[in-house]
Structure 1
Amino acid sequence: MKLSIIIPAYNEEKTIFQILKVIESVVLIDNVGKEIIIIDDCSVDKTAAVIEDFRKDYPHLEIQYFKQEVNQGKGAAIHKGISKATGDFLIIQDADLEYNPHEYNLLLKLVVDGHADVVYGSRFMGGKPHRMLFFFHSIGNKLLTFISNAFTNLNLSDMETCYKLFRTSIIQGIELKEKRFGFEPEITAKIARIPKIRIYEVGISYYGRTYEEGKKINWKDGFRAIFCMIKYGLLGL
């Protein structure tokens, strides 16, 4: 078995080597292998050079690298990564250091053991470390999750989380349209409509970064998320 790790990256020269190094050190349960799929969303810094340096230092790793010709957004990069995945399971990993790859197994175990088809890693449940940042950002996340739950009839605590693990056959069978941060509400709405799908949630840690440290999502993306919930959740498009 193999886990495909999809990494959308845009101007992450400061952190991508380190996050790749952490991923390399992770030992997955049940001898599950790893493939890393990096989608560089037309970075204008040294992201590409740093990735090439990493590949030279760790030639044993299975890494696919693709660079978008123009900046299309995080969602578009994820779409590309999903289409290239060959693993049995698939997880999305941001190129920064906000999420800890050593926690892959928390999500993976539920799928490998046959309990789940999709697992969300929640930043708002469990006893894991959680950096204290942005009161209104956390309120916004909870509001978006509440609205999403109302439309999907799920009881998630963190719809906007990056860590979402899928059986690859499921996510590759879904037509995805949102090219930017609308990916999260779109995929949540669409998996919720799959008959008999088993969706779980586990607590994870969160080492959030400030906007000065490179955080990109903003309040405008929140309004887009609400639009996507109405479009894909309420209207079922």
Structure 2
Amino acid sequence: MSSDDADKYSILLPTYNEKDNLPIIVWLIVKFMDESGYDYEIIIIDDASPDGTLQVAEKLQKIYGKEKILLRPREKKLGLGTAYLHGLKHSTGNFILIMDADLSHHPKFIPQMIALRESCDFDVVSGTRYKGSGGVYGWDFKRKLISRGANFLTQLLLRPGASDLTGSFRLYKKDVLEKLVASCVSKGYVFQMEMIVRARQLGYSVGEVPITFVDRVYGESKLGGSEIFHFVKALLYLFATT
């Protein structure tokens, strides 16, 4: 058990069409957090999913209780950055963990991230696919190439001091996340990258835990050609402004 008994972890789960994945990811989070003895809450931020994700979330709230599962839905699809802000506003933890609800991030890594944070007092702990035992499963060669290429290009231009910039499995001190979100201008895929770049810029310490990333089990991936174009454009913007 943590030496800091007062610490509480708010886990933000932005969702859009995740009705199949949500029960599994919530069950896994509860399992690993309960086993580790940490105090936590799960905040589900659904952006008006047409597939009934919110109804599934309501059932989960009945199962696990309103203290553990907080539902903070929004009227329409408003993007990741604003979802984190929305979740932040409603969080009662002093640490914020953000992850995808599509099972690409396994909750078994959360206790490792918390342990690293506790031992080194990092401001940010990021899950990395590009170090140690980290890796990606379920991607074809093209997707791996794009991801590696994007990461390499970013390392070259921005020298951020972190190995995985586009991942979205991260643990933040709450006040640090508030400052970072306020300083970010990017949207979508690039938002995660800018968060790490700004963290370095503002002098925050970043630790990394190797994770295995598994491509979505159910539903559609959200990375397409236009995303890649916006990524490169935003990367050049960050290069010019940081």
TM > 0.5 fold call: yes
Runs of 4+ in 1 over 4 A off after TM superposition: 28-31
Q: CA deviation at 1:51?
A: 0.4
On the 8 A contact 1:186/1:228 being kept in 2, the answer is no
- Partners of 2:197 and 2:35 in 1: how far apart? 29
TM-score, structure 1 as length reference: 0.88
Matched-pair identity in %: 25
In the TM superposition, what are the counterparts of 1:80-229 in structure 2 within 5 Å?
Answer: 80-127=86-133, 130-174=136-180, 175=182, 176-195=184-203, 197-209=204-216, 213-229=219-235
- Partners of 2:237 and 2:145 in 1: how far apart? 22
Amino acid at match of 1:170: V
Amino acid at match of 1:123: R
On the 8 A contact 1:41/1:74 being kept in 2, the answer is no
Please state which structure has a larger fraction of its residues in helix: 2
Aligned to 1:9: 15
- Partners of 2:84 and 2:46 in 1: how far apart? 10
Per-residue Cα deviation, 1:133-164 (whole angstroms, up to 9, x for no partner): 22121121122222322343224332111212
Helix, strand or coil for the counterpart of 1:125?
coil
Structure 1: gaps of 5 or more residues: none
Q: CA deviation at 1:6?
A: 0.8
Per-residue Cα deviation, 1:92-137 (whole angstroms, up to 9, x for no partner): 1211111111110121112112342111111232335742422121
- Partners of 1:185 and 1:128 in 2: how far apart? 18
Helix, strand or coil for the counterpart of 1:146?
helix
Helix, strand or coil for the counterpart of 2:212?
coil
- Partners of 1:84 and 1:229 in 2: how far apart? 31
Aligned to 2:26: 20
Q: CA deviation at 1:60?
A: 6.2
Per-residue Cα deviation, 1:14-51 (whole angstroms, up to 9, x for no partner): 11111111111113697431111111012111101100
Aligned to 1:47: 53
Considering only aligned residues, what root-mean-square deviation do their CA atoms show, in Å?
2.2
TM-score, structure 2 as length reference: 0.87
Between 1:58-67 and 1:22-31, the stretch displaced more is 22-31
Amino acid at match of 1:203: P
- CA change 1:98–1:179 in 2 (3 A) is same
Structure 2: gaps of 5 or more residues: 1-6
- CA change 1:64–1:233 in 2 (3 A) is farther
- Partners of 2:170 and 2:137 in 1: how far apart? 20
Helix, strand or coil for the counterpart of 1:161?
coil
- CA change 1:35–1:219 in 2 (3 A) is same
- Partners of 2:111 and 2:176 in 1: how far apart? 19
Between 1:173-182 and 1:34-43, the stretch displaced more is 173-182
On the 8 A contact 1:28/1:105 being kept in 2, the answer is no
On the 8 A contact 2:134/2:211 being kept in 1, the answer is yes
